[in-house]
Structure 1
Amino acid sequence: MCVLPTMKMDPPLVPFAGTDPDGLDFDRYNPAFFRHFERRVGDLRDIGVEADIILFDPNDRGYRGFANMGRERDRAYLRYVVARLGAYRNVWWSLANEYNFNRAKTVDDWDDLLRFVRQIDPHERLLSIHNGNRMWEKGNIYDFSKPWISHQSIQHWDTTLTTEWLDKVGKPAVLDEISYEGNLGRRWGNITGQELVRRFWECATRGGYPGHGESYVNNGDRAWLSRGGTLYGESPSRIGFLRTIMESVTDKQTLRYLGRHQPATVSLDLPSRPHHVEVIDTWNMTITPISGVFEGSVRIGLPGRPYLALRITEQEN
């Protein structure tokens, strides 16, 4: 949820006083904008949605000058936004979207601003920063072990790396951009709903928190990804199905996701206690119990199609 508009946006209200785009006064704020923004944050709170508020965005690309306002103006802006919005219980802070696309700031600059947000926020809201480049690399995205960071905020297509990121840092991993279901002419914006659902399952069953996005551009309106509106994709209902499963998991259950593989049988090494096994079809959204009770080393028959998961439940005494 961005505070600052990007270059291609022409919003009716902007955060600063003055004339948009080339007459803005970075030393004065627009109360009407922030009243509107507060109402939207409150609307999200009322329906149980967290607002991950993005404080800086490089995609203005110099159009309004947000990327290079100077250290003191950056701090004054942050002080104002944190003071106005920090009291909402559903607020998170994302210091920047795709921070490394901003050529006016270094990692040291971002660290300085992250420390500043941590210092001025009396509520200690969740705080992170989101990478731009390296989405197609395995390299160092950001050093999330730094003490002012509450969680990892990662843009990367390979959600099987979730385990590695969790092991490396020991902080929750939010994979908030894992590509978009859609038909946009960019490689990050045209994967199928089935592929996005697969990435969700790979991430969630490893202990991460994946994010959804949609970028269809031929449905009579602008792409959903940064403007909202109607969702046309096949993934949202399947993601909702995954959510119900994750929210119902108990400490007596294990989920095993099989992904693209389509084995006719699978071997399990279970503890020496009785277990029940169910086959979850993650695309067709069905859950089918396998007859019998299993313990120890067993081999179980499967339907032999991809995108299945197993839910293994220890039998109650």
Structure 2
Amino acid sequence: MAGEPSPAVERWGVLELELPGPARDVVFSSEDGRCFASSSFPDGRGRHLLRFMPDAEGEWTYEGPRGVAGSFVCGAAGEGNHGPVRLDGGGSGAGGLGVGGLDAEGLDFRYADGTPYRPYGTTVGEVDEATVAALASTPFNRVRLRAPEGEGLEAFEQRLAELRDLGIEAEVRLTRGHDIPSVVSRLAAYRNVWWCAPEGAERDPDVLAEIREHDYGHHLLTVHGGAKTDFGAPWITHASVQHDEVRAVGVLTDQLCKPILIDACGAEGDAPTPEESLPAREMVARIWEGVCQGGHVTHAESYGPRPWSACGGRPTGESVPRLAFLREILDATPPRPRHNPAYYDASTIEVPGAYLLQYLGPHRYPSRRFTLPGGPYEVDVIDTWNMKVRRLPGAWTGDFEVPLPAEQYMAIRISRA
């Protein structure tokens, strides 16, 4: 196939080539001189395929063993294609709404084209067509799922493409049973892929080297474990934590200075185990609490003999519409809010001098006092369970007290007018 022209592909799209045999280290070169190596994989039907995700417009060339050589043109990204998610290192400045706050680099995510990204996650089991269709009507833009071992990868990658077209990121959990070089080479061309390394991989440099070697696109990469897991290694882009106390987010953020995702804090459901039989109010409360500690908390559901988080299908619990409401609140938040530990009795994120969101959880506070610089501000009282927002009249400045209905699961939003 020397010199054979290939079809055009969009930026961050998937170029697929059929090769005459297995080939490692086919080198792709961009017009600006950057080079990336990709390897072929068997597709289960006797073919050897090679995939590549170009990250820049213009002409690309490739060359490898067995006479593999050619070129293709990379065009502009299509509508809705923002590229893979990366870490965003922008800071928000020091100080808070009068009381100081945390600022750190790399605590946020963005797409490769610079568009901000905030994960709203869920854990699913089998990702079939019904599951993808269900996800299209949920607030979730990130799913945690496990790649099948052996056969089943062809159907799995079709589901990845469908999730990509819906704007949903997929954190693919790898296991010790996977042929990691083949799986990573096969899936790395999908821009919506994140990697979750096999259990214990933070202590196994060989496994990590395999993932990095075959992932030319440098997708986000993590391990999943308890709070004592060593998430500090530089190759870990974000922490995927198992912890039922979501207020640990603030502490972990201070320690690691990287995004914290509580990916297993329990599940709404009726399973026989305590961690998988949470009432919906508790599931929603944990997610609000973790978000207002400056992190991200992943939803899970475990009802019936085929629960969503084990088998896919369709979520049936009461959490999902309330998480859609939370997403509406957070999507209207200014960029890069930070947890402010000064509000020790109520989880709080803020954008200094401009915005504050405070979650009161199970406490029935009759009022809350704030001292804010400048002003004026607008104040909203949010009923997180009943999904209602009540704007308090007037312009608020200086030192003031916000009256509350003394009910559980309320939040306060303060925005510069």
For 1:156 and 1:237, the matched residues in 2 are separated by 24
8 Å contact kept, 1:2–1:54: no
For 2:316 and 2:215, the matched residues in 1 are separated by 38
* 1:205 alignment counterpart: 292
Q: CA deviation at 1:229?
A: 1.3
- After TM superposition, the runs of 4+ consecutive aligned structure 1 residues lying more than 4 A away are none
1:280 to 367, 382, 388: 382
8 Å contact kept, 1:115–1:148: no
* 2:232 alignment counterpart: 145
Counterpart of 2:401 in structure 1: which amino acid? R
For 2:206 and 2:393, the matched residues in 1 are separated by 58
Counterpart of 1:108 in structure 2: which amino acid? R
1:295 to 365, 373, 397: 397
8 Å contact kept, 1:154–1:175: yes
Q: Which runs of 5+ in 2 are unaligned?
A: 1-123, 127-146, 335-350
Counterpart of 2:190 in structure 1: which amino acid? Y
Q: CA deviation at 1:170?
A: 0.5
Q: With the length of structure 2 as denominator, give the TM-score of the two structures.
A: 0.59
* 1:239 alignment counterpart: 323
How many pairs align?
A: 256
* 2:244 alignment counterpart: 157
Structure 1 position 128 matched with structure 2 position 128: no
* 2:166 alignment counterpart: 47
Instruction: State percent identity of aligned pairs.
Output: 36
Residue 295 of structure 1 aligns to a residue whose secondary structure is strand
Higher strand share: 2
8 Å contact kept, 1:2–1:56: no
For 1:285 and 1:174, the matched residues in 2 are separated by 24
Q: Which runs of 5+ in 1 are unaligned?
A: 4-12, 17-29, 58-65, 67-73, 101-105
For 2:303 and 2:362, the matched residues in 1 are separated by 24
Q: CA deviation at 1:113?
A: 1.1
* 1:6 alignment counterpart: none
For 2:329 and 2:382, the matched residues in 1 are separated by 10
* 1:61 alignment counterpart: none
1:108 to 193, 197, 203: 203
* 1:80 alignment counterpart: 182
Structure 1 position 195 matched with structure 2 position 297: no
Counterpart of 2:261 in structure 1: which amino acid? V
Alignment RMSD = 2.0
8 Å contact kept, 2:125–2:312: no
* 2:12 alignment counterpart: none
Residue 51 of structure 1 aligns to a residue whose secondary structure is strand
8 Å contact kept, 1:172–1:208: yes
* 1:167 alignment counterpart: 254
Residues 51/234 of structure 1: CA separation in 2 closer, same or farther (3 Å cut):
same
8 Å contact kept, 1:2–1:55: no
Structure 1 position 312 matched with structure 2 position 407: no
Counterpart of 2:294 in structure 1: which amino acid? G
* 1:258 alignment counterpart: 360
Q: CA deviation at 1:183?
A: 0.9
Q: CA deviation at 1:286?
A: 0.6
Q: With the length of structure 1 as denominator, give the TM-score of the two structures.
A: 0.76
Q: Which has the higher contact order (CA 8 A, sep 6+)?
A: 2
Q: Deviations over 1:241-300 (max 9, x none)?
A: 101111111253210111111111111121132111000110000110011211222112
Q: Deviations over 1:29-88 (max 9, x none)?
A: x4xx2221110111111111111101117xxxxxxxx3xxxxxxx6xx111011100000
